Chain A
Amino acid sequence: MAKTPSTFLNMVLALFLCSFISAVALGGVYILTKDKIALAKTVGKVSAFENVLPDFNNDPFAEKYIVSTEKGNLVFYPGKKDGKLVGIAVDTFSMRGYGGKVSVLAGFLPDGSIYNALVTDHKETPGLGSKMAASQSDFPLQFKGKDPKTFQLKVKKDGGDVDAITSATVSSRAYCEALATAYEAVKKVLK
């Protein structure tokens, strides 16, 4: 078959057809995978709630509300057991990570202490800052059960009580800042 000559009409047609067919194919794949992707995201979120909240039997998603702080808006997911508040999961963040935004889901008990927290999204250096993610190191464990009233949410270098990750002080600071932001907001709500 001879090569199609590069006339104006041919070029427009070729580009149009390429884009059109690609768009149709993409639309098809998007529709096929849409539910799966949404499901994978929800599964991630639900198991995250189970990690940062004590035993609950409501749907924290359905009861979420937004609390505004000076750092930005935080989403609160209250965990309730038989109608009684057992904890609040706060979708908090810090913009001061080594690679930008660090998102943390922090669970607080009604008395204001930290139940557990885990990183949901970050762009920190793999192998260094990324160790703040659960199961990568002992760093996140030190916050379990601590009350920020007596446990200063700052790395030791800054005069706080937190052991920073070796050679990832900036990431550790961001993690602490995210928790501190959440704590300030939780204090207001629980009062």
Chain B
Amino acid sequence: MNQRANFLKGFLRENPILVLVLGTCPTLAVTTSAVSGIGMGLATTFVLICSNAAIAMIKDLIPDKVRIPCYIVVIAAFVTIVDLLMAAYTPALHATLGIFIPLIVVNCIILGRAESYAAKNAVLPSIIDGTGMGLGFTLALLVMGVVRELLGSGSFFGHKFITGDGMLMFVLAPGAFICLGFLIALVNGINRKLAGR
């Protein structure tokens, strides 16, 4: 596979949320607004790139039987670094995302990419894979966030254009599921079209 396809697969063909359906917990929880969606997506992307790179580097040194604990330690270290950096430089966003930043550790996308890609490939392709997957994740979160913010609170990136409340359901959990369902259907439709061509 060439590197361009390797990078692009995370957006549509193997989008971590919309096609692989991994990491749906943060997706459903934090996408109440576009800004927190982007914040969460970029934090995860950073962790994904770093952990993919680190794991691709050390994959031959790690005995098979303890590879999962080792990967988790590496991932947890990067997540804690992101947590500290966000607390220091973007305190407001850090407060909004709250517990979901430390929970990036258990995001299936990250361990999933470590296990299925970084553990079998060289450093550079792993970084590209991590970047593509992370940005695909961010894009999905951004779309979810924009749609839910529009419908739920009638605002776009925090700029309110209606008075009063929107459809409250879209801010709550059911709206997240409905929104995710329609997005998955949409992306599956697009993928089918592209494959049929």
A residues contacting B by CB (< 8 A) are 1-7, 10-11, 14-15, 18-19, 21-22, 25-26, 29-30, 33, 36-37, 40-41, 44, 123, 125-128, 166-167
Chain A interface, DSSP helix/strand/loop, else mixed: helix
Distance between Cα atoms of A128 and B171 in the complex (Å): 8
Q: A18 near B60 (CB under 8 angstroms)?
A: no
CA distance A36 to B86 in the complex (A): 10
* B81 neighbours in A (Cβ, 8 Å): 25-26, 29
- Contact A127 B76, CB 8 Å, known A4-B61, A6-B63: no
Q: Which residue of A lies closest to B32 (CB)?
A: A126
Contact A14 B153 (CB under 8 A): no
Main secondary structure of the interface of B (DSSP, over half): helix
How many residues of chain B are within 8 Å of chain A by beta carbon?
A: 30
Residue of A4, A11, A33, A166 touching B85 (CB-CB under 8 A): A33
Q: Across the interface, do B153 and A29 meet the contact criterion of CB distance under 8 Å?
A: no
| Further 12 A-B residue pairs, CB within 8 A, beyond A14-B70, A37-B84 | A4-B60, A5-B63, A10-B63, A18-B62, A19-B73, A22-B73, A29-B84, A33-B88, A126-B171, A127-B153, A127-B168, A127-B171
B126-159 to A contact mask, C-beta < 8 Å, 1/0: 0000000000000000000000000011000000
Could you tell me the distance between the alpha carbons of A25 and B168 in the complex, rounded to whole angstroms? 43
Give the distance in Å from the alpha carbon of A14 to the alpha carbon of B91 in the complex.
35
